[in-house]
């Protein structure tokens, strides 16, 4: 009996010693000189491409190495992965739990046939709340799978979207109701020498306008930038001189590093609305020398033409109707405002100052 007890005590002692040894070994602190073979990370979810697929959506996710440059976990996702989902909500569920992609890319075919559902606005806004970084969102030329499959296009597109204030967060101005208008960046592959695109990016940024969740018009790059300026924002990439007046023999003038502020006032009349828009532009001039007053007249003409285009489309991405809504509680609605917008008299004034007060 004593022998059994002695053997049992020895076994328990050996187990305790082993456990202590493992604990000490596991808690050992590595110095900076020690190898860090176990310091590996998950792959970085760069982009998620959305196309139409069987039963709903086909989502292609593109992964890249961690931003820190550390090795990937052996079981970590890498490269491309394609899955099918019945809805965007189902596709976004794992992104809400872990981390969202840096870019949500919507295929052109989906956008032209299905539009941009209002529910997606709410769901994309929820992504990245925990991480403090909302994903970029854009429509891409061709299929989103093709876009995500090309590291050059994918990374070039992300860089282009981050250049401008509005493209970095296009849903900042958008409502999430069915009636609300939404403007999204449209990325298309073009030769790098076109559209003043930095060499190697190969991506041009335009914009698509959605009304009642359906695509209604594609805006040019210059129209997109001007619309963003009229919405108001910082860090806009550029504004272009209209070539219709005072053509230049060489490069046309440009405004860069732009900050825009828009002030909207109305008479509050839904039957015969009159609105005044004052757009203040601070920027750095580039190219041939043009005075600030000449720039103001040029942008005023371009902006007036853009406003007339939006009136003809019965679309209000500038949210001009908000200046009238408060005068008509219980009466105002989007359709009534769209009708009023077509007959509204809208006067635009532009004031330009160059950096340094010129």
179, 200, 219 - which closes a domain: 219
Question: Does a structural domain hold residue 164?
Answer: yes
Domain check: are 203 and 108 in the same one? yes
Question: Does a structural domain hold residue 22?
Answer: no
Q: What is the pLDDT of residue 41?
A: 43
Domain check: are 214 and 245 in the same one? no
Q: What is the pLDDT of residue 7?
A: 53
Domain check: are 109 and 200 in the same one? yes
Domain check: are 248 and 335 in the same one? yes
Domain check: are 232 and 161 in the same one? no
Domain check: are 251 and 173 in the same one? no
pLDDT in tens, the chain (358 residues): 556 555 566 655 665 555 444 443 334 333 343 333 333 345 678 899 999 998 899 999 988 766 555 443 433 445 688 999 999 999 999 888 888 899 999 999 999 999 999 899 989 988 877 777 789 999 999 999 999 998 888 888 888 888 766 787 888 767 667 788 999 999 987 533 334 444 344 456 889 999 999 999 999 988 988 998 998 888 787 888 887 655 665 678 889 889 999 999 988 888 888 999 999 999 999 888 889 999 999 999 999 999 999 999 999 999 898 888 777 777 778 888 999 999 999 999 999 999 865 4
CA distances (Å), 208 to each of 32, 217, 264, 307, in order? Answer: 51, 6, 24, 16
CA distances (Å), 8 to each of 15, 16, 20, 22, in order? Answer: 11, 12, 18, 21
Environment class of residue 302 by beta-carbon count within 10 Å: exposed (0-12), middle (13-18) or buried (19+)? Answer: buried
Q: What is the pLDDT of residue 201?
A: 44
Alpha-carbon distance 3 to 319, whole Å? 89
Domain check: are 191 and 266 in the same one? no
Q: Of 243, 241, 245, 246, whose CA–CA distance to 256 is shortest?
A: 241
Question: Does a structural domain hold residue 35?
Answer: no
Domain check: are 210 and 228 in the same one? no
Question: Does a structural domain hold residue 26?
Answer: no
| pTM across the whole model | 0.78
Q: What is the dihedral of CA 18, 22, 25, 28, to 10 degrees?
A: -130
The residues, ordered by sequence, that sit 6+ positions from 19 with a Cβ below 8 Å of its Cβ are: none
Q: 203-211 and 182-189 as β-strands: parallel, antiparallel, unpaired?
A: antiparallel
How many structural domains does the chain have?
2
Domain check: are 201 and 240 in the same one? no
Write out the residue range of the structural domain in which residue 129 sits: 41-219
Question: Does a structural domain hold residue 25?
Answer: no
Alpha-carbon distance 205 to 225, whole Å? 9
Largest pairwise CA distance in the chain:
110
Domain check: are 164 and 53 in the same one? yes
Q: What is the CATH number of the domain that holds 243?
A: 3.30.300.210
Alpha-carbon distance 95 to 255, whole Å? 38
CB atoms within 10 A of CB 146: 17
Question: Does a structural domain hold residue 28?
Answer: no
Question: Does a structural domain hold residue 259?
Answer: yes
Q: What is the pLDDT of residue 106?
A: 97
With contact defined as beta carbons under 8 Å apart, do 346 and 275 qualify?
A: yes
Question: Does a structural domain hold residue 73?
Answer: yes
- Name the one residue in this structure whose structure tokens are 């328990």: 12
Q: What is the pLDDT of residue 356?
A: 63
Q: Which pairs with CB-CB distance under 8 Å and at least 24 residues apart come from 172-178?
A: 173/231, 173/317, 173/319, 174/121, 175/121, 176/118, 176/119, 176/121, 176/122, 176/125, 177/118, 178/118, 178/212, 178/213
């Amino acid at each position: 009996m004593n022998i059994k007890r002695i053997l049992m005590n020895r076994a328990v002692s050996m187990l305790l010693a082993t456990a202590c040894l493992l604990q000490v070994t596991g808690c050992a602190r590595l110095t900076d000189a020690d190898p860090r073979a176990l310091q590996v990370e998950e792959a970085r979810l760069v982009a998620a491409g959305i196309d139409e697929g069987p039963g709903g959506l086909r989502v292609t996710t593109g992964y890249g190495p961690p931003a820190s440059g550390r090795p990937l976990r052996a079981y970590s996702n890498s490269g491309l992965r394609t899955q099918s989902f019945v809805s965007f909500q189902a596709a976004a569920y794992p992104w809400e739990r872990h981390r969202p992609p840096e870019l949500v890319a919507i295929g052109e075919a989906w956008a032209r046939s299905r539009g941009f559902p209002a529910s997606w606005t709410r769901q994309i806004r929820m992504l990245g709340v925990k991480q403090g970084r909302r994903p970029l969102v854009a429509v891409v030329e061709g299929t989103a799978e093709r876009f995500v499959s090309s590291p050059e296009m994918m990374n070039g597109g992300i860089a282009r979207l981050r250049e401008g204030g509005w493209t970095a967060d296009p849903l900042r101005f958008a409502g999430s109701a069915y009636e609300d208008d939404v403007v999204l960046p449209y990325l298309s592959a073009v030769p790098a020498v076109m559209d003043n695109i930095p060499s190697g990016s190969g991506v041009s940024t335009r914009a698509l306008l959605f009304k009642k969740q359906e695509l209604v018009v594609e805006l040019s790059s210059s129209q997109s930038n001007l619309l963003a300026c009229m919405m108001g924002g910082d860090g806009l990439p550029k504004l272009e001189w209209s070539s219709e007046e005072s053509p230049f023999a060489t490069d046309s003038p440009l405004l860069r590093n732009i900050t825009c502020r828009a002030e909207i006032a109305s008479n509050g009349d839904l039957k015969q609305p009159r609105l005044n828009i004052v757009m203040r532009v601070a920027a750095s001039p580039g190219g041939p020398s043009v005075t600030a007053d000449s720039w103001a007249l040029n942008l005023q003409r371009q902006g007036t033409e853009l406003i007339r285009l939006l009136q003809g489309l019965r679309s209000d991405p500038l949210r001009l109707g908000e200046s009238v809504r408060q005068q008509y509680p219980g009466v105002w609605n989007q359709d009534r405002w769209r009708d009023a917008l077509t007959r509204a008299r809208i006067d635009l004034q532009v004031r330009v100052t160059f950096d340094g007060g010129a």
